[in-house]
Each structure stands twice: as C-alpha cells, then as structure tokens.
Structure 1
C-alpha cells in the first residue's frame, strides 16, 4: 500500500525555470491559465533534461498541473472518441480502455497531473514538433513508449527524449510515451515506492 505524505512543495511557473521551453495547453486553457505549472523539483528536472538535448532542440509541454475540471473533460472526450471508434464495444469495455489513458479526477489515485508532478511533453526544433508517431498506427499503438512498428528515425527521436528525461530523474508511463512524472502516486507505483510525496493541488495559490 502506498501512502501520500504531502511535502508541500510549491507549484512554479515552468517558463521561469525553463525559459526556452514551449508551452501550449490549447487556446482555451492558455487564455485562462496563461502558462503551465509544475512542482519546483519537477520543473528543475525538466530544465536539466533540456540541457541533455542536442543543440537547437527543446521540449514543448502540452500539459502539466491540471485542474479537476480539465481532468473530467478529458475523460469525457476519450469516452466519446472510443465510443465512435468502436461502436460494437460495450460501455464497460470502453471505460476500461479509457482508464488506461485517463486517471480519476479525485481520490487517492487521482491523475498525477493534478498533483503538479506529471508532465506531457514532446520534442521541438525550428518552430515545429519533431516526429514521434506514425500515421499508419492507431492511437493506442502510437501511445506505447516502446513501439517496434515505428520507423528507426522516430524510434531514435523517442530515445533522444527518453534518455534526457530519465537522466534527469523522471519516470515514464509506458502506455503514453509523452507522459513523465515524479513524486505522484502513479510514479510511486511504477517505481515500487512506499510513499508518494505529492498529493492533489486543487488551485494555484
């Protein structure tokens, strides 16, 4: 059993720690939240990881700390997506599939994003994302961190990103190549830790 012992580390504006990193949470959230936030230690890990990337390359962050309403909206979006994609699936099967990609919006097992300990990111260079997936694969196939069906070029791009983030101390969720975290309960589960140090933060103070 994993316990959460909140360390009360603050959320910080990622761009104040990592000024070169691109932040894009989507138009609606950027208008409301202006930027992205992570726990201080995690933001510093991203800064160290960026230093390991080849010259001219950085990260683009598509999600970091996430309010509860966003977590609920994401779950609904996935349910709608899989329902349309797989009309023959039962509701229970759809929910089970969605839960592989979307954590709960409350409780002990709430999304790591809601703790400020998780980040979704990809590589960025010369004003665009570096290819990390294939149009020939399904969402689920592309999402897997280790996907042998990808071209060597795309696998090399992923390895560049993975190596930098691992060296900085972050841990990957293997069903989503873009999702990395530290300190939250899902990080603790993946790494067989008895204690998680980040609990849910409901509001930016």
Structure 2
C-alpha cells in the first residue's frame, strides 16, 4: 500500500462529464485505444465536473503566461479494466526492453520487472478504499502544445518508466534547463487551479482524489485559493 492510499474517501457523488476537447489539444485516436485497451462504451476524455472546471482554469493560467499555448490531454478517466490492461501492457514492455521473454522469466526477474512497473502505475485494485487515481475521474495526464500547435519537448515522453520522468529530473542536468522550464510552466499552470503533481510523473496531476489529499497535507500548494479549502480527505472514489 502506498502512503496516499491510507487517506479516507468521502465520495461526493459528483458525475463524470465530458471534457470540452475543443478547448484543448488531444490525440486521436487515444494512445491507449491504439494499444488495444478495453474502454467499451466508456471514454477516456471524461473527468469529474469540478476537475473539468479546474482544468479550464489551468489553461487560462497557462495562456496568461504564453498566449495561444494549450494543454494537451494525453489521458483522463480510466476504467478499472483499462488500468489492468495497461499495467499488463507495461509489464510486457519492461520485459521486452530488458531483452527477456515472458515465458522464461525467473521469479527474481519477474519481481524486478513488476517493481519497475509499480513505481509508475497504480495497482488496478477493486478495493473501494484504494482505487487507482485515474479510475476516480480525478486524475489527468497532460503536456503542452505551443502557439503553432507543436508538442512542447519535456525531455522525456509520457509513461516512460525511468527517473527522467521525475518532475525535477532536469533541474540540475547539463543541457536540461529548457526541459525543466517547460515542466515548471506546466506545473505552475496546473497548481494555480489547485491540482497536485505526482511526485514521480511530470505529466500526472489530480484534484480531489487520495493522492491530491495526501500531497496537499504534506505542504502548502502554490494556488490562488486559501489553504483552508484544502483537506486530507478525498472526495472522489472509483466510478
């Protein structure tokens, strides 16, 4: 169990709503749909209603600094079946990247590969007290596009399972200042709207889930809203 999963959830019952994708940049087809993830009749471009409202605030904050830049949505709502599929998909990817074969793994190799996967992917738990963040409709994976619609270089791609994904990885790397500045721009824009950033993923932000509540309880957020609005209780569970 990760520390944030000890945070209690008091489900508020807020609905999932469609993200107004015309306001943002999006990938078509969705990356996980291309990978074969089983969304069924669900859409990845949904979030809880308040989270959508805050995402619009984040984009407004971005455009105050960089006119005509936009947030690009990589992933948002993720049904539990999709979480399970992508965890298995990522495990197979780690195995292949290490030059191994799934049907020939030793127990030690299997354990090492799973440890790498679960540094970045949440366990696809069906326990209502420990839902994967994306399955709550409160988490979103995002990057930036510039004024001409080009994807901004963040130094590493979304979902890369290496330390380069850590938000501040390029802060003290030779030649990495541009990547760090881009990541900071994304972070400041999202935090202005109350989001919190995953400690190991520069692209992952959430509002209202267990991780958000846990992070908010660790340190003050750089937000325009008063600290009295922050609480160590999550308002969104699995949906």
Note the C-alpha offset of 1:127: 2.5
Q: C-alpha distance in 2, partners of 1:91/1:34?
A: 32
Contact persistence 1:109–1:186 (CA under 8 A): no
Partner residue in 2 for 1:131 = 153
- Out of 12, 20, 23, the residue aligned to residue 20 of structure 1 is 23
CA RMSD of aligned residues (A): 2.3
Q: Structure 2: which 5+ runs fail to align?
A: 1-5, 101-105, 218-230
TM-score of the superposed pair, with normalisation by structure 2: 0.75
Partner residue in 1 for 2:61 = 52
Partner residue in 2 for 1:190 = 215
Q: C-alpha distance in 2, partners of 1:116/1:42?
A: 8
Contact persistence 2:216–2:232 (CA under 8 A): no
Alignment pair present for 1:79 and 2:91: yes
Partner residue in 2 for 1:102 = 121
Q: 1:60-75 maps to which residues of 2 (within 5 A)?
A: 60-75=72-87
TM-score of the superposed pair, with normalisation by structure 1: 0.86
Note the C-alpha offset of 1:56: 1.2
Q: C-alpha distance in 2, partners of 1:173/1:38?
A: 17
Pick which of 169-178 and 23-32 moved more.
23-32
Partner residue in 2 for 1:90 = 109
Q: C-alpha distance in 2, partners of 1:36/1:131?
A: 23
Q: Structure 1: which 5+ runs fail to align?
A: none
Aligned CA distance change for structure 1 residues 191 and 36 (closer, same or farther; 3 Å) = same
- Out of 114, 118, 125, the residue aligned to residue 139 of structure 2 is 118
- Larger gyration radius, structure 1 or structure 2: 2
Count of paired positions:
197
Q: C-alpha distance in 1, partners of 2:206/2:156?
A: 24
| Cα offsets for 1:89-135 (capped at 9, x unmatched) | 62112112211111122222221110000000000122221111159
Contact persistence 1:67–1:114 (CA under 8 A): yes
Determine helix, strand or coil for the equivalent of 1:90.
helix
Alignment pair present for 1:200 and 2:225: no
Q: C-alpha distance in 1, partners of 2:187/2:237?
A: 25
Aligned CA distance change for structure 1 residues 124 and 77 (closer, same or farther; 3 Å) = same
Answer 1 or 2: which has greater strand percent: 1
